[in-house]
A and B are shown apart, each in its own frame.
Chain A
Amino acid sequence: MSHSEPDLTSRSHAALGDPVLQRALGNATATFIERRRESVATVPDWQALRERARRVKEHTVNHLDYYLEQLVGRVEELGGIVHWASTGEDVSRYVVGLARARGVRVVVKSKSMTTEEIELNHALEAEGIRPVETDLGEYIIQLARERPSHIIVPAIHKTREQIADLFAEKLHVGRAQEVAEITAVARARLRQEFLSAGMGITGANFAVAETGTIVLVENEGNIRLSTQVPPVHVAVVGIEKVIPSFEDLSVFLRLLPRSGTGQKQTAYVSFLNGPRRAAEAAGGGAEGATPETEFHLVLLDNGRTRILADEQMRESLYCIRCGACLNVCPVYQKIGGQAYGWIYPGPIGAVISPQLQGLKEAGELPFASSLCGACREACPVAINLPDLLLALRAKVKEGGGEEPGARNTAERASMRAYAAMAKRPKLFAAVGRLMRGLGRLAEKGGRIRRVPFPPLSLWTKYRDLPAPPRGGSFRERWKKGEGKE
């Protein structure tokens, strides 16, 4: 996944200054929060369900090699072809090679964060193969040549009016007045693409090891068409998506739609067991029949085993990509997904992106959080996101490491000085007295409206500072006897 210049401060500044984006984000996140609250309330013991899901993920991730081998064995028994990919380039090479071998010119794609992560579309386009995003939100993003701004709602940052303009411009249709008109245009266009495509590419929400089943949840039916109409289906799946059994799946299928869109159940849930066989189409049993389609499972690492190797960070792999942490995050609510600069936004993005891309590249993200903890509360697998953000901050600073975009030297020096003072109470008190004395020089009417040097200048750019107390510090007043009985 590529980085969009310039730094996070400038990107968020642009987002904060965009009133249309602010309105779209505010409305959408509020709606998703409300729907989630309502649908979660229908589960008698939501907390127990979360804990159970977390235990399943914990167990699976700790025995990932076992379950992946089981999954691969089952998929191959079903007649599927499995390819292991250690990087995004590996996936691209494999998919492009396959498409060429089958003479594929058009590929229909379902919404997949994994293929966004590895920028598969770029690789396909470079080889003259036309990828068509078939999820409505992704279709909009592809037309606009943008990147998704949310894990499950890629066009969350766009208003209906903007989309109507985009369709009119790119598809040469009349400007739609109603949402129904917009979707009708997309449906008509996409139907042709489904019929002409030589390959369908999807991700997976879950891969069930005991049966070799790829599970996909959706609301638009485009995944049904992407996997059933073209003669070749390729599922690009991160290795952390495997779960042991159908019994476990039942837990996640209750958690995912409620956490994501606030639905009790999505409109479609697809269970795909290897390639389609002739007898199936005829309504008979699949046993022994010759496959009439191809199914390829591409298992992607792309940095995931590195996360797996780090015990402290391992729970980042529990994520089921529901997007609930984005909606409740006060930072995401204000800057949206694109400002994060990497494909995964919000709290989980601030945890995953630096690990996949490296701390030098994306190390600024963990610092762009108030650590309020709303994300952890919303997470259906109870990932301790604030703790992971804190751990990443420590990794960035470890051994003199630099935080991208920060005033590193000054910050480190002041933290060291502060720590040294904190161990010497008399010095701490003396320096405090000095600082308060300086503060009083800047006071006007009980407030400090402007400090000319950083970091406090950044505070006073937006907010006032309190004037230092006139009667001295607590410890001074206590010593003088005001605290004594």
Chain B
Amino acid sequence: MRVSVFVTCLVDQLFPRVGEGAVETLRRLGCEVAFNPAQTCCGQPAFNTGYRPEARAMAEHFVEVFERERADFLVAPSGSCTAMVRNFYPELFHAHGDERWRARLESVRSRLREFSEFIVRELGVEDVGARFEGRVTYHDACHLLRELKVSDEPRRLIRAVRGVEFVEMESPDACCGFGGTFSVKYAEISDAILREKLTRIERSGAQYVVANDSSCLMQIAGGLARAGSSVRTIHLAELLASR
């Protein structure tokens, strides 16, 4: 199986170990993994802030880069970036005269999978042979859960990791308050929502919070660190890569 990874701009620039964890896990599962350095950002920040012409320009670049990838699947360690391409790109190419673009987009959309979705649904694997010692809880990232309907897959992958004690927190599907530019436009509200999440994380007794989106994890980690908590965040790809 040939896979090309879209690591996302955030992982590329700030959390390279997440991308490497994804690559390592996929290789361990027998995939041939490629990375095209022409990739940048899917355009979600512009789209979510209302800047559609700018988002469209980025979407065109994304399609140009990934349509040429000779891969069975394109895999991204992010629910929200995957949802951007699969669920929201069509809105950027819906105009009359965009027929050719829509056809090109389809060849990308149809192959793009979120990391945990790909492993469980396409590879049919739950135990990736990872080992990690600790009590772990899982945060459902909103776009992964509600746009892509992925919630069971990451939990199965986590439970199969040797050494992990999995615990659910209360309302794991409650938003962490990140919301892209919302996190700075309405920083105080974003923080108030985050604190509810942090309370639930602490109450679960977990030592680690796992999620499949580095953006949520940046918000949660930022709050945990500011509060002086000993709980750590870890992306699913890093968890599955550890042994």
Contacts and interface: CB of A to CB of B under 8 A. Distances in A.
A321 B117 CA distance: 36
A370 B23 CA distance: 30
A461 to B, nearest CB: 6
B46 A419 contact: yes
Given A367-B186, A466-B15, A475-B37, A393 B226 contact: no
A390 interface: yes
Given A16-B192, A418-B54, A454-B184, A463 B175 contact: no
B186 A368 contact: yes
Interface string A367-406: 1111111101100000000010010011111100001001
B37 A478 contact: yes
Given A419-B57, A466-B218, A474-B19, A330 B193 contact: yes
A348 B43 CA distance: 26
B95 interface: no
Contact of B193 (A370, A461, A465, A483): A370
B27 A482 contact: no
B222 A464 contact: yes
Interface residues of A, number: 72
Contacts of B127: none
Interface string B32-70: 000101111101011111111011011011000000000
B172 interface: no
A168 interface: no
B47 A370 contact: no
Interface stretch (B5-13, B101-109, B131-139): B5-13
Interface string B76-111: 000000000000100100000000000000000000
Interface string A445-485: 00101000011101101111110110111110111001101
A335 B190 CA distance: 11
Interface stretch (A220-228, A245-253, A254-262, A408-416): A408-416
Contacts of B142: 370-374
A6 interface: no
Contacts of A376: 146
B50 A394 contact: yes
Given A370-B182, A464-B226, A422 B57 contact: yes
Contacts of A283: none
A473 B175 contact: no
Interface string B182-205: 111111111111101000000000
Contacts of B191: 462-463
A459 B187 contact: yes
Interface string B15-29: 111011001000100
Nearest to B222: A463
